[in-house]
Amino acid sequence: MREKVDQLRQTALESLKQLHQPQDLENWRVRLLGKKGELTELLRGMGALPAEERPRVGQLVNELRAQLENAFAEKQKALQNELRRIKLQAETLDVTLPGRAAPVGGRHPLTLVQEDLCDIFQSMGFDVVDGPEIETDHYNFEALNVPADHPARDMQDTFYLTDTLLLRTQTSAAQIRTMESRKPPIRIVCPGRVFRADEVDATHSPVFHQMEGLVVDKGITMCDLKGVLEQFAREIYGPETKVRFRPSFFPFTEPSVEVDVSCSACGGKGCRVCKGSGWIEILGAGMVHPRVLAGCGIDPEVYSGFAFGIGLDRLATTRYKISDIRLLFEDDVRFLAQFEGGKQV
Ligand code: PHE
């Protein structure tokens, strides 16, 4: 019997050493120390012993049980420590690693152009104002000296919502709203979307962007208009930029001009961007028509003013060498990611 006890001790302790998983350890405990375990089995075998030997053997078995229980507890502790060590090692943080940057979107090329323009005009003392995209016929046409049957209405194909409501075809509506709500001296720019029923192609879109400018004060002349626009063109396209004024017609300005800048891509020699002419048309402008001033309650005998409307899409496409205006409206991230701050995602 003593041999049996010794043998069991040896195999039990030996097998305990080999264990590395908590589940195996538990199985070991059940197999040896459990209710139907090998120790219990051993005790049962005592029934066959002579009565005088039983207490001694009982003591041996109890000692073995105590020993195995201790070994089990120790092993359990060691295993727990080992597992914790492995877990901690796996969770080690290298606080010196650089952080993972969250992807940030870039600003749209039109936004970049618009912000630059606002900066330039604000530095010249202009306020930035906003106007509604749904306009009345009055603000978009009538008050700008374009009565209902005037042929100038054909210059712009209009989306009408009702007989009197429309999607603004020009930011010029902001001129009227401003002159109605402010007294001279007035210096404002108004950027925004405008709408015309144009066929879509590489240079036309039914939605595009303008920035209106308006200055009204005593003694404002065409020279002021030229000075402001030349300054703006040089800031946008560089100090070498030349500016050309061509006579034109708008119902709400008199005289009216269209303004070209020398092509920044070829320096005026002629290239694909400027279609060989060396010039790029970027805006319409003129001296505010006396009738428009008077209609807003501003005395044209006392005050004069100039206005301009810059096409922002053309500015963006020439500045960033974008060959097709439709790219500005398609929201393709591969396109948008190429601009400042943009990151391909
Ligand atoms: N509103 C005109 C257009 O859309 C541009 C313009 C604005 C012309 C202001 C003169 C003065 O074509």
Tell whether the model's pLDDT for residue 337 goes beyond 70: yes
Number of helices followed by number of strands (H, E) in the chain: 11, 9
Peptide bond into 247 cis (omega under 30): no
Q: Is the pLDDT of residue 255 over 50?
A: yes
Q: What percent of the chain has pLDDT over 70?
A: 99
Q: For residues 256 and 283, is the Cβ–Cβ distance under 8 A?
A: no
253 lines ligand 1 (CB under 6 A): yes
CB burial of 219-240 (b: ≥16 within 10 Å; e: otherwise) equals: ebeeebbbebbbebbbbbbeee
Average pLDDT over every residue of 297-324: 93
Residue 128 CB coordination number (10 Å): 15
In angstroms, the CA 243 to CA 223 distance is 13
Q: Is 192 in the pocket of ligand 1 (CB under 6 A)?
A: no
Whether cis (ω within 30° of 0) applies to the bond prior to 255 is yes
Question: Within 13 Å and on the Cβ side, how many CA atoms surround 75?
Answer: 23
54, pLDDT greater than 80: yes
Question: Given this model, what pLDDT does residue 342 score?
Answer: 54
Q: Is the pLDDT of residue 224 over 70?
A: yes
From 17-21, 118-122, 163-167, 263-267, the region with the lowest mean pLDDT: 263-267
Residue 5 has pLDDT above 90, yes or no: no
Indicate if the pLDDT at residue 344 is higher than 70. no
Banded pLDDT at 292 (limits 50, 70, 90)? very high
* Rounded average pLDDT over 254-280: 88
pLDDT value at residue 144: 95
The pLDDT of 232-261, averaged and rounded, is 93
Regarding pTM above 0.75, the answer is no
Q: Which of 173, 318, 171 is nearest to 233 (CA)?
A: 318
pLDDT above 70 (res 2)? yes
- Ligand 1 mean position, distance from CA 189 (Å): 13
pLDDT at 279: 93
CA of 42 to the centre of ligand 1 (A): 107
Once rounded to an integer, what is the mean pLDDT over residues 251-275? 89
The predicted pLDDT at position 3 comes to: 84
Ligand 1 pocket residue status of 208, Cβ below 6 Å: no
Task: Read off the pLDDT of each residue in 254-270 and give the average, rounded to a whole number.
Answer: 90
Contact 225, 306 (CB under 8 A): yes
**330 DSSP 8-state letter:** S
Q: What's the 211 CA to ligand 1 centre distance in angstroms? A: 9
What's the mean per-residue pLDDT of the chain? 90
pLDDT at 45: 80
User: Is the model more confident about 227 or about 148?
Assistant: 227
- Per-residue pLDDT at 160: 92
Least confident of 45-49, 113-117, 268-272, 284-288: 45-49
pLDDT at residue 333 above 70?
A: yes
| Cα 173 to Cα 57: distance, rounded to the nearest angstrom | 110
CB-CB contact of 115 with 339 (8 Å): no
Q: What is the distance between the alpha carbons of residues 76 and 93, in angstroms, rounded to a whole number?
A: 28
- Is the pLDDT assigned to residue 104 strictly greater than 50? yes
Q: In angstroms, what is the span from residue 258 Cα to ligand 1's centroid?
A: 9
Q: What is the mean pLDDT of residues 212-234?
A: 96
CB atoms within 10 A of CB 141: 26
Q: How far apart are CA 3 and CA 77, in angstroms?
A: 30
With tokens 């006392």, the residue in question is 302
Model confidence at 341, in pLDDT bands (50, 70, 90)? Answer: low
CA pair distance 264, 202, nearest whole angstrom: 20
Work out the pLDDT band at 313, boundaries 50, 70, 90: very high
* Atom from ligand 1 closest to the CA of residue 214: 9
Whether pLDDT at 194 is above 90: yes
| Percent of the chain whose pLDDT exceeds 90 | 52
Residue pair 72/25 in contact by the 8 Å Cβ criterion: yes
